[in-house]
Amino acid sequence: MKIKYHYSTEENIVFVYPEGSLYLADIIEYLNAIMENPDIKPGFIELVDFSKVEDFQFSFKSALKLPKIFTNLKEKKQHAATLLVGNNELRFGMARMFTSILDNYITICPVCSLEEAKEKIIDIRKTSNLDS
């Protein structure tokens, strides 16, 4: 799997690290892996860092497969939110594309830095009454 992730049980956050060329098949494989991971507790927050992604090898149209998968993830794991860190124009633009596709299905937020993501996580937990 080209997408690596680390789950922090203390923070209930899945830290996601895609690298190189990102394909839709990689995203689907990763999502299925976390859906089946028994260690990930309900209400987790997903923090995706796009900083090592060089290019995105899928179209907007093909990405329309994602809402169904994220809906399943939310139902199975009570997925609380996804934050997408895009540290340049391309990566932030892709984060916004994901947001436009998934916004009606999950809580999703594009941010420009890990610092901004940490602030958003605090806000999400306050408004959702999620324990950290």
CB 80 within 8 A of CB 128: yes
Residue 121, token pair as written in the block? 């996580």
Using one digit for the tens of pLDDT, what is the confidence trace for 15-73? 999 999 999 999 999 999 999 999 999 999 999 999 999 999 999 899 999 999 999 99
Structural domain count of the chain: 1
Containing domain of residue 120, as a range?
3-128
The CATH number given to whatever domain includes residue 59 is 3.30.750.24
Q: For the whole model, what pTM was predicted?
A: 0.90
| Size of the chain, expressed as the number of residues it contains | 132
